[in-house]
Structures are given as C-alpha cells and as structure tokens.
Amino acid sequence: MFFLVSKIFWLVAQPSSIVVLLLLLALGFALLRKRKSSIAALVLAVLVHGLVGYTTLGYVIIQPLEDRFSVPATPPQAVNAIIMLGGATLARPSSARQIAELNDAGDRLTTTLWLANAYPTAKIVVSGGSGVLDDEGESEAETAKRFFSMHGISEDRFILEGESRNTDENVAFTESLLGDLANGNVILVTSAFHMPRSVGIFSKAGLRVIPWPTDYRTPGPQGLWFDIANPVQNLNVTTVAIKEWIGLAVYYWTGKTTTFLPQQ
C-alpha cells in the first residue's frame, strides 16, 4: 500500500504535473469566465515552470544531500559485501534487447564494478526490482547481473534481490540475504543525493554500512541564479531533489528512519 500511495502521490506532486494541473485550472476558470482567477493560475504555472526549468534551484536544494556523505578517505582493507541499490538502468530497453541500458544514475553500476575489481573476494549484492506501477520487464537485479557478467565478474559473487520496489524494501529484503556477511565491512553504493535516506534506513534496521556515494549532480557550492543553458536538465535535477526531500520527510514521519537527515 505504501508503494502504491507514494507512486500515485508523486505522479501528481512532481513539478511538471503541478504545471499541467495549473494550466488545466487556468483553462477551467477561463471556461467559467473567471478571468482574474484564470490569469492567476496561468501566471503561477509560468512561475513554477520558470523556477524549476530556468534557474539553478534544483542544484541548490540537492547539494546539501550530496554533501552529507563522502567516499571514505581511507578505504577499508577488506570488504565482505558491496550493496548496490537499484535505480541505475532503463527497464524496458534492457529487458527487450537483453542489454544493460543505463540511465542518469548509471554511475551506481560503474562504481560498483570498480569496487568489485578492487575487492575481488567481496560479494556483490544488487537490490532492485521494478519501481514502476506496471511492473513491466525484468528486475533491475537481473539487468545488473548481465552488466557485471559482461565485464568479467564471476556469477558466484552475485547475491540478487529482485523484489524490492523502493528504498525501504531494498533494505528489508537485503537484510535477510546478507547473513554473516553483515558481520564484516559492507559498502553501500547509491547516488550521493540518495545516500542520507539509504543510510538512515539501514541504520534503523541495525545494519552498519560504509557509504560510497556516486552519481553527483552538482559541481560544488551553488547559488540561486538564472540558468537557460539546459532547461530539461534543470527540471530533472529539481524533480529529483524535491522527490528526495519529500522521501526523507515521509520516511522520518512514518518511523522508517530515526533521523530526518542522517550524516556521516
């Protein structure tokens, strides 16, 4: 139920949906001959779209999340397992073409591959089912397995968890698979902006992990200003940032984490 409600809520709450709803509202007011209300809704739609698409807002609000954790200054000498959270591949083309098509978070896979070669005895735990409502195609765990196999990682190192649909289920379903591996060093790989929420849930579950953030969206300190170079990318970053902040709040309020914004 939590998964379904969260997905439906985000379909409505994301910036692009809000702009469309405001435009529909403006149209409705126009049909009702409420000119001032129609203009107000239209202006608000333009302001929202301009803010998320033509300013650095997304980078400003995602940066605190990315800076919360950093790669260990002194990497561990031995590692029992490397956990990679799903969200790095495109399910439909990967499944249909039997490839591993990466999305904007593809660094999760490439970073995990690098770590797999750096720690050749570590198990590779891939946690990721389908995060979409129609549940179409193979699990991301299977796609990731294909990617690692193509790059020479032995299949006996894989531990696949292909049922989880969100971060909470990532942790819940992975916990039982780790077994004695959890008694040693366990590296967690996910996007830098997603690391605070992920660490918070693992901590609540009593699992100690070594954060290894990747997939950075910001180059460093950001200020709020106009940015017209790439509005599509600006919209994407803003959408990701808003979703993550909402996720942090919801997970904290529902008791899935004990701290609103976990830190290193």
- Tell me if 132 is assigned to some domain: yes
Which is more confidently placed, 80 or 8?
80
- Residue 28: is its pLDDT beyond 60? yes
Q: What is the mean pLDDT of the chain?
A: 93
Say if residue 17's pLDDT is above 60.
yes
Q: Is residue 260 situated within a structural domain?
A: no
Predicted confidence at residue 191, as pLDDT, reads 98
**Using 50, 70 and 90 to split pLDDT, how confident is the model at 213?**
very high
Q: Is residue 15 part of a domain?
A: yes
pLDDT for 87-146, tens place per residue? 999 988 998 999 999 999 999 999 999 999 999 999 999 998 875 555 567 899 999 999
The answer to whether residue 162 is domain-embedded is yes
pLDDT digits (tens, 9 = 90+) for 153-177: 999 999 999 999 889 899 999 988 9
Residue 263 domain-assigned (yes or no):
no
pLDDT at 176: 87
Task: Tell me whether residue 45 is in a domain.
Answer: yes
The domain total for the chain is 2
Query: Is the pLDDT reported for residue 6 higher than 80?
Result: no
Q: Is the pLDDT higher at 136 or at 31?
A: 31
Decide: pTM greater than 0.85: yes
SS (HEC) of the chain: CHHHHHHHHHHHHCHHHHHHHHHHHHHHHHHCCCHHHHHHHHHHHHHHHHHHHCECHHHHHHHHHHCCCCCCCCCCCCCCEEEEECCCECHHHHHHHCCCCECCCCHHHHHHHHHHHHCCCCEEEEECCCCCCCCCCCCHHHHHHHHHHHCCCCHHHEEEECCCCCHHHHHHHHHHHHHHHHHCCEEEEEEHHHHHHHHHHHHHCCCCCEEEEECCCCCCCCCCCECCCCHHHHHHHHHHHHHHHHHHHHHHHCCCCCCCCCCC
Are 32 and 126 in the same domain?
A: no
Please tell me whether residues 62 and 151 are part of one structural domain: no
Q: Both 148 and 102 in a single domain?
A: yes
Who wins on pLDDT, 7 or 169? 169
Domain enclosing residue 56, as ranges: 2-66+230-253
Which CATH number characterizes residue 120's domain?
3.40.50.620
Among 9-13, 138-142, 245-249, whose mean pLDDT is lowest?
9-13
Average pLDDT for 14-41: 97
Query: In terms of domains, do 44 and 105 share one?
Result: no
